[in-house]
Amino acid sequence: MVFYALYVWADLDNLTNLQPGGGCDDPNYPYYFKLRCENCGEVSAKATCVSIGEVVDLPTGRATANLVQKCKLCGRDGSIVMIPGHGTPLSIEESQNETGTCLMVFDCRGCEPIDFAFGDGWKAESLEGTSFDIDCSEGEFADYDEKGECPVGLGKLRSEFRVVKKQESRGKTKFV
Ligand SMILES: [Zn+2]
């Protein structure tokens, strides 16, 4: 198994805490991306949708996963288990210093996640605390914050799946 952390970046304009509408661990938020087969390298034609609330039985036995998908070329099964509790919203500081933030960790067997697609159903706050619903599928967003009397917006959405290692220390699990 390999652990992949989904990192995101965006240029934020008077906005902070960009994240899926119900938070990074929103059980209903669909994370969309493509899969590359670890066995033959085939990339799935369509983006796959994975959410924490969606659970399927693994064909091999007792365990469950959030996704099981057969490679169309070689027929090998790939499976993904989402690991909540490790994501944080993208702050304006992380946006300015280009560090980005990890939203979710995926435990992948037999497949590799690539090409994350930003969809609808995101949210962020203005620096004055006004909440905005954002459709990230457009790639950019612009509005006006009445409270802060300033324009707010975002653009240049980027993402990357990084291979991370599981570390246990003092009873806590971290992915770095
Ligand atoms: Zn394959």
Per-residue pLDDT of the chain (176 residues; tens, 9 = 90+): 899 999 999 999 999 999 999 999 999 999 999 999 999 999 999 999 999 999 998 876 668 999 999 999 999 999 999 999 999 999 999 999 989 999 999 999 999 999 999 999 999 999 999 999 999 998 999 999 999 999 999 999 999 999 999 999 888 999 99
Q: Report how far ligand 1's centroid is from the alpha carbon of 151 (Å).
A: 47
Domain that holds residue 38: 2-166
Compute φ and ψ for 96, nearest 5 degrees: -70, -40
Q: Report how far ligand 1's centroid is from the alpha carbon of 78 (Å).
A: 9
pLDDT at position 61 is 66
Is residue 27 a contact partner of residue 52, using CB atoms and an 8 Å limit?
A: yes
Q: Report how far ligand 1's centroid is from the alpha carbon of 77 (Å).
A: 8
pLDDT at position 134 is 97
Is residue 174 domain-resident? no
Nearest CA-CA partner of 136 in 43, 12, 5, 4: 12
Is residue 89 domain-resident? yes
pLDDT at position 58 is 81
Which residues, by Cβ under 5 Å, contact ligand 1, an ion? 37, 39-40, 42, 71, 73-74, 76
Task: Give just the sign of the alpha carbon dihedral 76, 27, 89, 32.
Answer: positive
Q: Report how far ligand 1's centroid is from the alpha carbon of 158 (Å).
A: 27
What's the DSSP call for residue 138?
G
What's the DSSP call for residue 30?
-
Q: Report how far ligand 1's centroid is from the alpha carbon of 113 (Å).
A: 14
Is residue 68 domain-resident? yes
pLDDT at position 155 is 97
Q: Report how far ligand 1's centroid is from the alpha carbon of 109 (Å).
A: 12
Is residue 175 domain-resident? no
How far is the CA of 130 from the CAs of 15, 146, 152, 160, 167, in angstroms? 9, 9, 10, 28, 37
Is residue 172 domain-resident? no
What amino acid occupies position 81?
A: V
Q: Report how far ligand 1's centroid is from the alpha carbon of 143 (Å).
A: 44
Q: Report how far ligand 1's centroid is from the alpha carbon of 67 (Å).
A: 16
Is residue 13 domain-resident? yes
For the chain, how many structural domains are there in total?
1
Is residue 176 domain-resident? no
